[in-house]
Copies of this chain bind each other. A is one copy, B any other.
Amino acid sequence: MNAVQIETWRHRHANRLEQAKSAISARIPWSPFDDQMPAGILQLTAGTLGRLEQLIGTSLALDPGHETDLSLPEHGGECSPYGPMLNIRYSVETFASQADKALSAMRVWASLPHTVRSSVLLECVSRLHAQTELFTQVGMHISGHSLLMAYHANAIHAQARAIESIAHLDKLQSESRLNVEAPLQDTHNRRKLRRQFSTHPVGLSLIYTERTLPTWNGYASIFASLAAGCPVIVLPHPGAVLPLALTIQIIRDTLREAGLPPDILQMNASPDSQERRAAAQHPAVRLIDYSGRRDFANWLHTNAGQARVLAQTGGSSPVILHSTDDYHGLIRNLAFGLCSYSGQLCTSPRRLHLSTLGIDTPLGTIAPEQFGQDLTSAIDQLLDEQPAPSQLLGAIVNVQHYEHALHIPQERASQILRLGGPVEWPQESAARALSPTLLLIPPSSSDAAQDELPPPITPIYVHSNWQMLLDATKEQIVREHALGIALYAMDTHVVEEVERLAFEHDSLLSVNFCGSYYPSQCSIFADIHGGKDPYNSGFNTPQFYSGRLKWREKREETEVSV
């Protein structure tokens, strides 16, 4: 171990660590990195490949410049939702051999003081941050992010999530280290009992990352497990390997520089679903983080009983419109939420609900049709204001969703308020980029919970009365597993009613967001994200962090030293 190097890093990042630990305790939003895009990144456009060009069609090694086993099979075939085939290949070892290496690396990693792990990992985050431009481009070409979304969600906010996890684990491990001594009275205080408490990592940590927010979600788990002392093997979504591969390159490189075994962090990019399942059942795996589909989370819980499962599933956030003191703010806020990444986040506004009575506003009551037209105009205006649509819209990452939006069924024709369509992109004509489609669905013409209307289609449901609105929203929450609910209401009783609904279903409630903070946003170091279901676990809730540790105790009777 290169102790001198690590000590330099500890000094370099000590202040950041203290700020992060204060932020998580007080839940005061804090940004370690500037939210404003620097000039260099502002010039990027979604269609251009930039630094990715040289990676196309290559075999990407996790340890460039180091010996690699050329006999390993390769997998790959990612394709940008903006058009280009990336066709990058990744060599894949067997999981069993990776698990052996991980356990061997753990012997070193777990035995370090947690402060050493924090210092090394904060240095890793700094190096990831230095590659922000690359990660911004990767966010666009892997997850179809808009420029702003890619800069935030795939780069600087993901890096902040990493720091958040390091801070939580640093705090937890510091507080859990305790030495308590007490004299033993029956020995006439000649002997004492010393209790030593400490934590240790639960063991090998398996992390399945997802497609739309591979780093933002992935970093929270990866850095939490690493900070706890667990070795990590990442199983990236087969369509989103690149952001993890680049991350792991940087971290392994830093570990090597610290004189630590790089196998503390490995990747298995096998796209084979049998192999992906078998990995979860490997007896050495003691912790599984998964974000994605609920059925796979259920499978893990039932079939990987040797491990703790921490799952983040579902999404789809309903919006309830009752009344507002800032109608224009409401419209602008919603229009932005629907355009940003073309509404593909699990926290994006999905399915809007209002009653036939419309929305009470200082301008008078706004009827549902009027609301639909106003929202349409606001979306058009917002897109007109953008220097390029790629700064705000996203490319549709799911091909079926893309096809769905291009072919709205004939029987819905009368419901269309705004028909989103292909957006002209500066470079690529094959981009699956679409602007939002809005449907106005009159009472009783549809079962809100059953409609298959994926983004960028947003249905606005008009309900005959308030109770039917609540019932339909509740059905959506249950069926689509809503992480959040956005509510616009001035009436205290209505807020309380929806609060009960949200809390009953463990959904984050966002009320009257009319400025430029959006219901889909989640302030790192402050907001709770996720945490539904018995085996789900939210960022910024205790179990997400403490679940990676076990508590140890040694009791020793000794002579009292004179």
Contact = CB atoms under 8 A, between A and B. Distances in A.
Nearest to A487: B556
A259 to B, nearest CB: 23
Nearest to A172: B542
Interface in A493-538: 499, 502-503, 506, 508-517, 526-528, 531, 534-535, 538
A541 to B, nearest CB: 4
Interface in A523-562: 526-528, 531, 534-535, 538, 540-543, 546-547, 550-559
Given A182-B29, A503-B200, A508 B553 contact: yes
A202 interface: yes
Contacts of A547: 543
Contact of A515 (B191, B499, B509): B191
A557 B506 contact: no
A71 interface: no
A526 B553 CA distance: 10
B307 A515 contact: no
Contacts of A191: 514-515
A172 to B, nearest CB: 8
Interface stretch (A40-48, A220-228, A271-279, A297-305): A297-305
A512 B182 contact: no
A187 interface: yes
A499 B552 CA distance: 10
Interface string A179-206: 0101010110001010101001010000
Interface string A435-446: 000000000000
A306 interface: yes
Given A197-B528, A550-B506, A551-B531, A513 B557 contact: yes
Contacts of A3: none
A293 to B, nearest CB: 16
A478 interface: no
B306 A186 contact: no
B195 A512 contact: no
A46 to B, nearest CB: 25
A287 B308 CA distance: 15
Contact of A558 (B307, B510, B512, B546): B512
Contacts of A286: 534
Interface size class of A (residues with CB under 8 A): 35 or more
Nearest to A558: B512
Identical subunits present: 2
A550 B531 contact: yes
Contact of A305 (B298, B553, B558): B298
Contacts of A558: 512
A27 interface: yes
A555 B508 contact: yes
A540 B27 CA distance: 25
Contacts of A557: 511-515, 517
Interface of A: 26-29, 172, 178, 180, 182, 184, 186-187, 191, 193, 195, 197, 200, 202, 286-287, 298, 301-302, 305-308, 325, 499, 502-503, 506, 508-517, 526-528, 531, 534-535, 538, 540-543, 546-547, 550-559
28 contacts: A27-B178, A184-B515, A187-B515, A191-B514, A191-B515, A286-B534, A287-B534, A298-B305, A302-B302, A302-B305, A305-B535, A307-B534, A308-B534, A499-B554, A502-B554, A508-B553, A509-B555, A511-B554, A511-B555, A515-B557, A527-B553, A528-B551, A528-B552, A528-B553, A538-B551, A542-B542, A543-B543, A543-B547
Given A26-B178, A528-B551, 10 more contacts: A200-B503, A287-B534, A499-B554, A502-B554, A509-B554, A511-B554, A514-B557, A527-B555, A542-B551, A543-B546
